[in-house]
A and B are shown apart, each in its own frame.
Chain A
């Protein structure tokens, strides 16, 4: 079923068992992003040590795609430098706009290539990008503060 390309096992796993959910008491930057069309919400706390992401925690509510995406993103980005994170984030955005023509670079995106199927569902791309947009915003804030 077409639907299975959207709801990959690993996505549903992250939805059921979200990683790094629960906000850190302190942070370098905190952002709150909402998907205005469906009301999904994410609050993201970023802690930088120098140029390195030492902690990325979040809280939120929303559909499996938005929640699994932010969960996987935190796993992927913790420990990375801002430059590495920016590369990964761009790679993920490109995958989302690929309209189903790309299966994603698993060396860069690891498990997050599971979201490749989302790019065939225009209504869901925003869901998958919610956490990533929040991260971009947090990274900018953390560097300007």
Chain B
């Protein structure tokens, strides 16, 4: 069947409602979170209705079914990412934020001799375009271990400046943690060069795939990174479920972060040993219904086809950029062409503060994000204290872009020329 965003939309009940006094909902805030199709809502509800029990515990049928459903979701994720080591490499967390914190805290737990151990002689590398959730945990880890934090700068065009790559990723670098796609600029980062240099010096690469995994085919067998994190809720799935993927041998060496039930092998009054991966990283009764919901979300995306989703977004992003570029006094913050960029497009409109623009757009039923998008250092670097962001997904169409275009013109008229 031919791909049609209008057809897709019918699977998403939220588009049946109106906002702000009968206005059609134009949802352009997918970078923050995505809407959910019926199949996801049903999968989550059905888990509670039919199979609810604590996975991996209990000697009864429901516990067995719950375990199957939860582990089934893990397999779906492994296949979605083409994880070379299969589902054992998939750790469920509550979000990407938790996955990234897991990495940072687990490394902080590593004793001398462990490959993850960090000290004052070591370096952690990030970039200036990181979301706070892939910056602050590393700042804090450096603070606790004495390791040094270094970063790639961002050019005025919103690309990573890799010109000094060898002096940023130095031989004492242990970790390079970066975003696949900027949630502000839309920039897709060139992983190949970074991974090559990182591995050359023996550093591990952690990829924040929050803004990429929901929008493009991820092939872990090809990417070369060592760990990857994303959030289910940005990929049509429920909130409360995130994914950390890691190479099996690395997950085995990485100490646990959260301790408690389900993550242990044996416990005495003084000591404990750990369950095999991935259970080692999943203390407590997990977010089972949410994992199952994520499984359904991925099945939905896969049934459409990630290449088709990606193609649609690329075409639509080009259309959106063209529309936005035709607005007087509007500047795109980030790459102004569709080359190596995703569908998050930030911009400023001369004199109209993003908060005011967002408010006007909201009055027209158009949902966008305004502010610094959880990336203060990037805002500072780009010299824009705040911007407005439109971010697309598979259910968006040209009419949504037109609505945004008309909304911006409307705001210019409404606020007059300051």
Task: Enumerate chain A interface residues (CB-CB to B < 8 A).
Answer: 1-3, 6-7, 12, 15-16, 37-41, 61-66, 121, 123-124, 127
Contacts and interface: CB of A to CB of B under 8 A. Distances in A.
Contact of B372 (A12, A15, A38, A61): A38
Given A38-B354, A62-B386, A63-B355, 12 more contacts: A7-B415, A12-B415, A16-B418, A39-B372, A39-B386, A40-B386, A63-B356, A64-B353, A64-B356, A64-B415, A65-B355, A124-B355
Q: Which 6 A-B pairs have the closest CB atoms?
A: A63-B355, A63-B353, A38-B371, A3-B363, A39-B372, A39-B386
Residue among B356, B372, B386, B418 with max Cβ neighbours from chain A (10 Å): B356
Contacts of B113: none
Contacts of B414: 3, 7
A135 to B, nearest CB: 21
A3 B415 CA distance: 11
Contact of A39 (B20, B21, B379, B415): B379
Contacts of A12: 415-416
A65 B359 CA distance: 11
B319 interface: no
Contacts of B372: 38-39
A69 to B, nearest CB: 13
Interface in B356-402: 356, 359-360, 363, 370-372, 376, 379, 385-386
A39 B359 contact: no
A2 B385 contact: no
Interface of B: 20-21, 353-356, 359-360, 363, 370-372, 376, 379, 385-386, 414-416, 418
Nearest to A6: B359
B195 to A, nearest CB: 33
A2 B363 contact: yes
B180 to A, nearest CB: 25
Given A2-B21, A12-B415, A16-B418, A40 B360 contact: no
B359 A2 contact: no
A99 B360 CA distance: 20
A126 to B, nearest CB: 10
Contact of B418 (A2, A15, A123): A15
26 contacts: A1-B363, A2-B363, A3-B359, A3-B360, A3-B363, A7-B414, A15-B418, A38-B354, A38-B370, A38-B372, A38-B386, A39-B376, A39-B386, A40-B355, A41-B385, A61-B385, A62-B353, A62-B355, A63-B354, A63-B355, A64-B415, A65-B355, A66-B355, A121-B359, A124-B355, A127-B355
Contacts of A65: 355-356
Contacts of B21: 2
A37 B385 CA distance: 12
